[in-house]
Amino acid sequence: MRMTQPVRGMLAAIALSAAIVLTTAAPASAAITVTLSPTAGTVGTRVDVLASNCNQNATAVIENTNVSIALPRNNNNAQGNFTVPDGMKTGTYSVLVTCGSETASAKFTVTSGSGASTGGGSTASNTATAVLWSGAAVVAAAAAGLWLLKRRSGTAAA
């Protein structure tokens, strides 16, 4: 499947470059877009919601929940925020914004709040053990040095 990707990509590139030419030629107004920040977070995270190109008060709901968000008009946009409620299950949710007769959505992901388990440990050195042994080696070397010094000073004194 991956083998075909360059070919598909090339075709897509041609199609998209044509599309870009068309869209840039069109006036840059119209469709509202929804942006979230952050796009992922744990329960209790405050999420800002921005509906661009929505020049009026708008509302938003989080799909499959009873959370609704007011987005007061702010310059040419509508903007508000919500806090991920306690008990919200982990997963990806659509935040659906209604601005007049238009709607648009963006996705928010509720995570467990932990980081990513991106390692198996095969390159991890056991640092504690390494430190212990190098420490022991240093102690041994220093003790030997001191002993040599003492012995030589002893023979000199004798």
Region 44-73 residues binding another protein, contact defined as CB under 8 A = 45-46, 48, 50, 52-53
Q: Is there binding between residue 136 and another protein (CB under 8 A)?
A: yes
Could you tell me which residues come within 8 angstroms of residue 43 by beta carbon, excluding any fewer than 6 positions away?
A: 84, 85, 86, 87, 88, 110, 113
| Total residues binding another protein (CB under 8 A) | 78
- Which of positions 73-92 make contact with another protein (CB under 8 A)? 77, 79, 81, 89-92
Q: Indicate which single residue of 18, 39, 63, 151 sits in contact with another protein (rule: CB under 8 A).
A: 39
How big is the CA angle at 65 (ends 87 and 74), to the nearest 5 degrees? 110
Q: Parallel, antiparallel, or unpaired: how do β-strands 68-71 and 73-74 relate?
A: unpaired
Q: Residue 35 or 57: which CB sits closer to another protein?
A: 35
Q: Is there binding between residue 139 and another protein (CB under 8 A)?
A: yes
- Measured CA distances, 79 to 56, 64, 148 (Å): 10, 21, 77
DSSP annotation of 66: S
Minimum Å gap between C-beta 77 and another protein is 8
Contact 110, 43 (CB under 8 A): yes
Q: Is there binding between residue 27 and another protein (CB under 8 A)?
A: no
Q: Residue 101 or 127: which CB sits closer to another protein?
A: 127
Minimum Å gap between C-beta 118 and another protein is 4
State the residue for tokens 């929804």: 34
**Interface mask (CB under 8 A) for another protein, residues 101-130, using x and -?**
------xxxxxxxxxxxxxxxxxx-xxxxx
